[in-house]
């Protein structure tokens, strides 16, 4: 019995990993332009909106002041490829990230429910969905973090480039900051990812259960007692959209702190604003205090709008693509 289950579990893990990697790659590539804009906002010390004009006595004039203005500037100065700057390390980060995340998530839910069937996982306690999502997010973050750091550096540097490619950025970080430099900002990232991944996966499962309940109620009234609770592609998209919006809005300040740690010491052109010197922030709590003191409370939410515009469809695309790709690969591989 055990020898039969082991190959089946291995196939299931491979299906989850492959479906997670493909769905993550699709989502990341589609939403890259918004991610680049979000990062530019997050690492800019100057105000990013007109309401922050009162803070301009602290720093110089702002390079980016809005989503449309930033889009026009990047297009004019860097061309269309500028919107996909850092996308290669982002894919190298996001594809293994989603692969690890969905694999660990499925394993945890299988352990908790005693079944590897996805439909049985929906009957788990909502709390277990949140905890499973948080643990899966931590595992995926640690496994893929250096690529996240390289992605942030390449996406934030602008023109002229400090690093022409990922290899040069990697070598310079190793030379100037050592191996630990590849994990700069990991602590606020883990502090962020625990509630973020927990909220994303937990709320997705909650929204999906609610949608299934709604479908049962609707079909029982329309089709003479039929209780079809299957969820359509559009409904899955809505669940992913809502989960992405909710989780990102709740955890955005910690993402800003992470980005600041990741680009400490980066020598960008002066037109991109004040440089974040090495050791500017002594720790996560100190960074939060400094940002609020010098940039106002709104400094913690720089880049929130493009982040939400990106994260909501990104979450939707990831979940929908994963569900369909996982079902398709699973059917081909004979995995339930």
Architecture of the domain made up of 28-115+123-333: Alpha/alpha barrel (1.50)
Rg from Cα positions in the chain: 21
Q: Cα(73)–Cα(66) distance, rounded to whole angstroms? A: 10
Residue 109: pLDDT band (50, 70, 90) is: confident
> CA–CA separation, 229 vs 219, rounded Å?
8
Within 8 A by CB and 6+ apart from 236, the residues are 208, 316, 319, 320, 323
Q: How confident is the model over 92-117, as a mean pLDDT?
A: 80
| 124, 179 Cβ separation under 8 angstroms | no
In order, the DSSP letters of 5-57 are: HHHHHHHHHHHHHHHHHHHHHHHHHHTHHHHHHHHHHHT--S-SSGGGGGGGG
Q: What percent of the chain has pLDDT over 70?
A: 90
Q: Is the pLDDT of residue 2 over 60?
A: no
Model confidence over 141-189: pLDDT tens digits?
A: 888 888 888 888 888 877 788 888 889 989 999 998 899 889 988 888 8
Residue 7 has pLDDT above 60, yes or no: no
With a cut of 90, say whether residue 9 has pLDDT above it: no
Q: Where are the beta strands (DSSP E) in the chain?
A: none
Which helix or strand (DSSP H or E) is residue 236 part of?
A: helix 233-262
Span of 43-52, 66-75, 92-101, 283-292 with lowest mean pLDDT: 43-52
CB-based contact 182:175 (threshold 8 Å): no
Three state DSSP letters for 133-170: HHHHHHHHHHHHHHHHHHHHHHHHCCCCCCCCCHHHHH
Share of the chain above pLDDT 90, in %: 4
Report how far apart, in Å, the C-alpha atoms of 297 and of each of 79, 203, 301, 321, 335 are.
Answer: 33, 27, 8, 36, 50
Q: What is the pLDDT of residues 296-332, one digit of tens each?
A: 888 888 888 888 877 777 777 778 888 888 888 877 7
Query: Could you give the CA distance from residue 221 to residue 317 in angstroms, rounded to a whole number?
Result: 31
> From CA 262, how far away is CA 156, in angstroms rounded?
10
Q: Is the pLDDT of residue 225 over 80?
A: no
Structure confidence at residue 336 as a pLDDT band (50, 70, 90): low
Query: 3-class DSSP state for residue 125?
Result: coil
pLDDT tens for 38-59 read 888 888 888 876 555 445 455 5
Q: In this model, does residue 100 exceed pLDDT 90?
A: no
pLDDT value for 228: 61
Query: Is residue 272 pLDDT above 80, yes or no?
Result: no
51 vs 123, residue with greater confidence? 123
Rounded CA gap, 193 and 173, in Å?
24
Closest alpha carbon to 104 in 140, 131, 144, 142: 140
- For the cut 60, the answer to whether the pLDDT of residue 226 exceeds it is no
Residue 90 above 50 pLDDT? Answer: yes
pTM: 0.64
């Amino acid at each position: 019995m055990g020898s039969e289950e082991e190959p089946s579990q291995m196939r299931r893990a491979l299906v989850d990993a492959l479906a997670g990697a493909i769905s993550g790659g699709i989502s990341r590539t589609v939403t890259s332009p918004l991610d680049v804009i979000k990062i530019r906002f997050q690492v800019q010390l100057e105000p990013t909106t007109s309401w922050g004009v009162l803070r301009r006595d602290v720093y110089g004039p702002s390079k980016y002041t809005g989503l449309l203005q930033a889009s026009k500037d990047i297009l004019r100065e860097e061309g269309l490829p500028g919107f996909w700057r850092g996308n290669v390390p982002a894919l190298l980060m996001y594809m293994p990230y989603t692969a690890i995340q969905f694999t660990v998530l499925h394993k945890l839910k299988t352990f908790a429910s005693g079944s590897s069937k996805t439909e049985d996982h929906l009957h788990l306690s909502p709390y277990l969905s949140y905890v499973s999502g948080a643990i899966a997010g931590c595992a995926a973050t640690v496994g893929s973090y250096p690529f996240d750091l390289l992605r942030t550096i390449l996406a934030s540097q602008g023109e002229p480039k400090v690093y022409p490619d990922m290899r040069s950025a990697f070598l310079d970080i190793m030379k100037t900051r050592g191996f630990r430099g590849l994990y700069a900002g990991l602590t606020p990232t883990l502090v962020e990812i625990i509630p973020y991944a927990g909220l994303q996966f937990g709320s997705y499962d909650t929204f999906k259960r609610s949608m299934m309940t709604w479908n049962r109620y609707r079909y029982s009234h329309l089709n003479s007692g039929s209780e079809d609770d299957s969820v359509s592609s559009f409904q899955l998209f809505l669940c992913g959209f809502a989960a992405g919006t909710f989780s990102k809005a709740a955890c955005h300040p910690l993402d800003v702190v992470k980005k600041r740690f990741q680009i400490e010491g980066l020598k960008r052109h002066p037109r991109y604003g004040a440089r974040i010197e090495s050791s500017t922030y002594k720790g996560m709590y100190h960074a939060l205090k400094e940002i609020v003191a010098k940039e106002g409370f709104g400094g913690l939410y720089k880049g929130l709008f493009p982040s939400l515009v990106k994260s909501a469809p990104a979450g939707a695309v990831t979940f929908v693509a994963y569900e369909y790709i996982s079902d398709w690969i699973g059917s081909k591989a004979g995995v339930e």
